[in-house]
Amino acid sequence: MKDINEFLIKRDNNNYEVVIGLEVHAQVTSNSKLFSSSSTKFGAEPNTQVSLVDAAFPGMLPVINEFCVKQAIKTGIGLKAQINKKSVFDRKNYFYADLPQGYQISQYKHPIVGEGKVILDMPNGQKEIGIERLHLEQDAGKSIHDIDPNNTLVDLNRSGVALMEIVSKPDLRSPDEVNVYIKKLRSIMRYLGTCDGNMQEGSLRADVNVSVRKKGEKTFGTRCEIKNVNSIKFMQMAIIHEANRQVDLIEEGKSIDQETRLFDIKKNETRSMRSKEDAHDYRYFPDPDLLPLEVTDKFIDDIRSEIPELPDEKKKRFIEKFKLTPYEATILVSDIETSKYFEEVIKNADVKLSTNWITGELFAVLNEKNLEISQSPISATNLSRLINLIKDGTISGKIAKIVFEEMIVGDQDPQKIIEAKGLKQESDPKALEELIEKVIQNNADKVAEYKSGKDKLFGFFVGQAMKESKGKGNPQLINKILKKKLNG
């Protein structure tokens, strides 16, 4: 995405800087909703997972789901954030067809999680992005406009599902940083098991706040907020278009109105939804049906004790313990399943070789077949077997690639493939010596040239010997014997 990063450079000789802050809506991983026991399972028939609370029948009372509270606190700890022992649920009042209550229950002045941070691994080093807050709120239902030409249909399955709104500080400076930020946030939440981060299913979406300013300026420009963007690529596209639109306005001497906009994917542009002048007055007030949420130190400490090793710490350990490069470690920890696979392989196999084979051959196959590592056609056990066969000289790296290709079909034991196909490396010095002797005899002229100083020919002899061994000769041994014979 090189052109994306250079978009402001192309414009106006790189005079402008874009400033971005994200409000990420992350669906809490939980079997039931924030204030009711209805299921949250994705993909059910419309309106089959709706309790009387979710449909806002009169007299129904919300009951807080303790598990969702734990999940929010867990996420807060993962973001190295302040956990607030007291938080308050407010009513955010507005009318919409898919909001039967007429208000959304959300935390406004007193969120459950305060300031924290996320570390980004950028190509030119690490960058810290501040987290302003994380609060719990309900999701609304879904209005469907494209099934019936004359009516809008409403599906309330999502109504009342718990969301964590994670608000960043305006610390992001490029579409690339937004990409890394979302991925890091998702990675942390997947490690914690608090949000599956599945963007296709809407489990992770964001309101994107964008402003621009001349480089070197101290104060921020006026921001526009692009609502509800549900893929990283669309976020990046929306930022580029919005930033360019704002730069154009400034260059024309016009001012920027603070407004809420939407990103039109088809037209590839942002459009105004509402301006600040008619911004909603949500008339927030504490929900009288819910007591302030108070948690004890013990409640928080118990959650803290369940926190697994997170990506940053895992990366540090991988670098220190396994001597990986920061680049390799970043790749291997970015996804919890990948890190588990890696640790499984190196239980019984060489670390360096394992790293190369996982990030090289295995990732290439997964990419090509569009598979997650949890669906890997080659199990960690069989990959470690293959690596050991290379390490102990049974097969060469070259033959290993052939074996690897075979293993993809049915996750076969490499040892069996090697036996069945007779791919075992020839490491018997006697056998190799015989075959090298033959090569030397057949190429007397080349031997003479070599001896008269044409050193480059050495590679030719190695190649011939390899060919004679049908690719199975141990390359180190061949080298050694050839040197002895030719130079001796």
Phi and psi, residue 167, nearest 5°: -100, 120
When CB distances are held under 5 to 8 angstroms depending on the partner's kind, the choice from Mg ion, ligand ADP, none that residue 169 binds is: ligand ADP
By the rule CB under 6 A, 21 interacts with ligand ADP: yes
Locate 462 and state its tokens.
Answer: 């190695």
- Residue of minimal Cβ distance to ligand ADP: 21
By the rule CB under 6 A, 111 interacts with ligand ADP: no
| Residue number, 54 or 132, with CB nearest to ligand ADP | 132
CB of 280 to ligand ADP, least distance (A): 10
Interface pick for ligand ADP out of 27, 84, 194, 211 (rule CB under 6 A):
211
Q: How many residues bind Mg ion (CB under 5 A)?
A: 1
Q: With beta carbons less than 8 A apart as the criterion, state whether 423 and 472 touch.
A: yes
Q: 49-52: which pairs have CB atoms within 8 A and are 24 or more residues apart?
A: 49/157, 50/156, 50/157, 50/159, 51/160
Interface pick for ligand ADP out of 80, 110, 169, 446 (rule CB under 6 A):
169
- The residues in 73-102 that bind Mg ion, with binding defined as CB under 5 A, are none
Given the rule CB under 6 A, which of 52-60, 205-213, 347-355, 371-379 is the region that contacts ligand ADP?
A: 205-213
Q: Is 98 helix (H, G, I), strand (E, B) or coil?
A: coil
Q: How far is CA 87 from the centre of its chain?
A: 30
Interface pick for ligand ADP out of 46, 114, 170, 475 (rule CB under 6 A):
170
Interface pick for ligand ADP out of 30, 209, 270, 469 (rule CB under 6 A):
209
Instruction: Give me the 2-41 binding string for Mg ion, x by CB under 5 A, dash otherwise.
Output: ---------------------x------------------
CB of 279 to ligand ADP, least distance (A): 8
CA distances from 119 to 20, 130, 177, 299, 455 (A): 16, 9, 11, 27, 52
CB of 264 to ligand ADP, least distance (A): 20
CB of 62 to ligand ADP, least distance (A): 23
- The residues in 412-431 that bind ligand ADP, with binding defined as CB under 6 A, are none
Given the rule CB under 6 A, which of 203-211, 231-239, 313-321, 419-427 is the region that contacts ligand ADP?
A: 203-211
Given the rule CB under 6 A, which of 64-72, 207-215, 360-368, 424-432 is the region that contacts ligand ADP?
A: 207-215
When CB distances are held under 5 to 8 angstroms depending on the partner's kind, the choice from Mg ion, ligand ADP, none that residue 22 binds is: ligand ADP
Task: Give the helix ranges, DSSP H, for 362-428.
Answer: 363-369, 380-391, 397-407, 414-421
Q: What is the largest CA-CA distance in the chain?
A: 101
When CB distances are held under 5 to 8 angstroms depending on the partner's kind, the choice from Mg ion, ligand ADP, none that residue 170 binds is: ligand ADP
Instruction: Give me the 121-160 binding string for ligand ADP, x by CB under 6 A, dash otherwise.
Output: ----------------------------------------
Q: With beta carbons less than 8 A apart as the criterion, state whether 269 and 242 touch.
A: no
By the rule CB under 6 A, 27 interacts with ligand ADP: no
**228 Rama class: left (phi>0) / alpha (psi -120 to 50) / beta:** left
By the rule CB under 6 A, 19 interacts with ligand ADP: yes
Cα angle, residue 184 at apex, residues 182 and 187 outer, rounded to 5°: 110
Locate 99 and state its tokens.
Answer: 């909001």
Q: Rounded to whole angstroms, how far apart are CA atoms 297 and 384?
A: 44
DSSP string, 167-212: EEPS-B-SHHHHHHHHHHHHHHHHHHTS----TTTTSEEEEEEEEE
DSSP string, 359-381: IIIIHHHHHHHT--GGG-SS-HH
Which of these, 89, 83, 45, 128, lies nearest to 312 by C-alpha position? 128
Give bridge partners of residue 210 from the DSSP assignment.
20, 224
By the rule CB under 6 A, 238 interacts with ligand ADP: no
Q: Rounded to whole angstroms, how far apart are CA atoms 124 and 440?
A: 52
| Residue number, 23 or 312, with CB nearest to Mg ion | 23
Which of these, 204, 290, 207, lies nearest to 29 by C-alpha position? 204
Instruction: Give me the 311-350 binding string for ligand ADP, x by CB under 6 A, dash otherwise.
Output: ----------------------------------------
Q: Rounded to whole angstroms, how far apart are CA atoms 126 and 487?
A: 52
Given the rule CB under 6 A, which of 120-128, 215-223, 317-325, 326-334 is the region that contacts ligand ADP?
A: 215-223
Q: How far is CA 37 from the centre of its chain?
A: 30
- Give residue 426's identity as a one-letter amino acid code: E
Interface pick for ligand ADP out of 7, 8, 22, 118 (rule CB under 6 A):
22
Given the rule CB under 6 A, which of 44-52, 102-110, 209-217, 349-357 is the region that contacts ligand ADP?
A: 209-217
Interface pick for ligand ADP out of 65, 168, 194, 334 (rule CB under 6 A):
168
| Residue number, 27 or 38, with CB nearest to Mg ion | 27
When CB distances are held under 5 to 8 angstroms depending on the partner's kind, the choice from ligand ADP, Mg ion, none that residue 242 binds is: none
| Residue number, 106 or 355, with CB nearest to ligand ADP | 106
- For tokens 């004790």, name the residue: 305
CB of 229 to ligand ADP, least distance (A): 13
Q: Rounded to whole angstroms, how far apart are CA atoms 349 and 256?
A: 59
Q: Interface residues with ligand ADP (CB under 6 A)?
A: 19-23, 167-170, 209-211, 220-221, 223, 225
Q: Interface residues with Mg ion (CB under 5 A)?
A: 23
